[in-house]
Structure 1
């Protein structure tokens, strides 16, 4: 008999579309147990705004039935759909901490996160450049790796939420090697890929043109790839970013490793925005997320699309099954 998976879900910014998405899922049939960690009143008020008749059962740890349940975490400040408020940041941290603690203890099989506004989080006094970095610090992971994926494409990053002007300073042989090791390990163990082929982007235009357009490929990226291949990891490159994402090239790789955020993510988001899942590799827990932001402009108005959240929940369930086999 298949074990029911228990997935922790944090909706994210209470003023964004995260609560809308939870409301949209409320009456859906699911084979998993989805435990939403949020303020109960925020969800019920959002349901009223959306004109939906939904109800949420309280979380009972001793039960293990498919469906959606709520762990109430109090949001101390008023919430208005579409109006972000930095005072909500402590509420968001509390929901995340409850979810991560539950995953680390084995109470939950995986974590799925909704969108937050990083600017509001930092205005609220938290050093929060993103879920990826916060979850790594909270769980004690040394190097989190961001992977965005859909059915046909996987893109991972060497650097994540770093100003573009600072990216070259992060591109070192050691960091690339460490990133690819994490990528290889999780693709093998969690995704079940046998010797995944990793295509590595260059940093500079045309992958540096032999040093004429930048030397990071020569000094760091090529030596890193050579070192990885000596370890038996199937890595190739560096390839110019403007050609590795062609269909012909993509067919050769299981995943593309981009050097920085806006080198790789625009490609996958252009191809399938709303269907993409963000996965954090290198954590001691399974974490997936939606591929979009808070979308304040449509919060509470009925225009949200739950496609990415559904995909994130499905992948979290699949990964948790594989991790326990």
Structure 2
């Protein structure tokens, strides 16, 4: 039986940022062509403009559907939605670009749901532009959940020697603590366990962060959040046979995980999980939404408006996101 290379739809993200540039640069990497059939969902005119400030010599091949893609090394297939023009200002918040970023992702979800692509890989969008464009979401993850009808999902960050999955993400710290429940923590433990098993780890070692400093230190810090919200979930997961420990102090847990003590960390809130991954380097991290009916990976950095159009953006996070999309995609 011959297994075909997975079909990956790359969404352009916010066209006023570095998305078009890192997409062009990623197609210069042999691994993209050798492991996948990748094409862009966005605006061909924006990709053409980005060639002016990159070294890319690729021909932009406009297509109307994935079936028209040729996947030739000297060209980049672009499913051209025709939403933007070349005079879109770079490095500025734009409602037009925000709306376009939403439409690119909506099209990708439509294709994935129809089985026309095997996975989605997303370039970054700008949350302010997205909302000014009429789409009141905090980010990619929430759009994906809404448009696929997914109620229970989580954001996982993956970097060399460190994987982190989140109980809460794009909410303020007070709201995050209120949203943490034993049921939610247990569900995220299940997502972590299932995801790593599918990736080939037979019995994942899972560590769960505490909410307070020193994981509350037996009630010394906080108001019993660990005892109320975290410990019941960990105990239930252990009874189910999952190899999980916690709550553990976050200030040492990430070091222990990089050292190899654990396969994944369950973080309670956004910055608790994001900061350690980003210390390893913005080019190293990949954002994966788990719990969806489709595979989605993303760069773990923003639109970088401050360097948009300069030609210095690093594409390696996108290349890594594509690599992981290939690994996670269903095999045909």
TM interval, shorter chain, is over 0.9
- Alpha-carbon separation, structure 2, partners of 1:111 and 1:207: 36
Counterpart of 2:331 in structure 1 is: 324
CA positional deviation for 1:76: 4.2
1:105-254 counterparts in 2 under 5 A? 105-189=114-198, 191-214=199-222, 215-247=224-256, 250-254=259-263
Matched, 1:42 2:46: yes
- Structure 1 residue ranges, 4+ long, deviating more than 6 angstroms after superposition: none
Counterpart of 1:285 in structure 2 is: 294
- Alpha-carbon separation, structure 1, partners of 2:228 and 2:256: 29
For the 8 Å contact 2:154–2:289, the answer to whether it is kept is yes
Matched, 1:83 2:74: no
TM-score, normalising length: structure 2: 0.92
CA positional deviation for 1:51: 5.6
- The count of residues paired between Structure 1 and Structure 2 equals 322
- Alpha-carbon separation, structure 2, partners of 1:127 and 1:63: 33
Counterpart of 1:5 in structure 2 is: 6
For the 8 Å contact 2:125–2:302, the answer to whether it is kept is yes
CA positional deviation for 1:271: 1.6
Cα deviation per residue 1:127-185 (whole Å; 9 max; x = unaligned)? 11111111011111121111111221111111010111211101111110111112211
| Equivalent residue in structure 1 for 2:269, among 260, 280, 285 | 260
Structure 1 portions without partners, runs of 5+: none
| Equivalent residue in structure 1 for 2:82, among 71, 74, 79 | 74
Structure 2 portions without partners, runs of 5+: none
CA positional deviation for 1:264: 1.7
For the 8 Å contact 2:162–2:258, the answer to whether it is kept is no
- Alpha-carbon separation, structure 2, partners of 1:295 and 1:199: 32
- Tell me how large the CA RMSD over aligned residues is: 1.8
- Alpha-carbon separation, structure 1, partners of 2:194 and 2:172: 28
Cα deviation per residue 1:294-316 (whole Å; 9 max; x = unaligned)? 00111111110000000000110
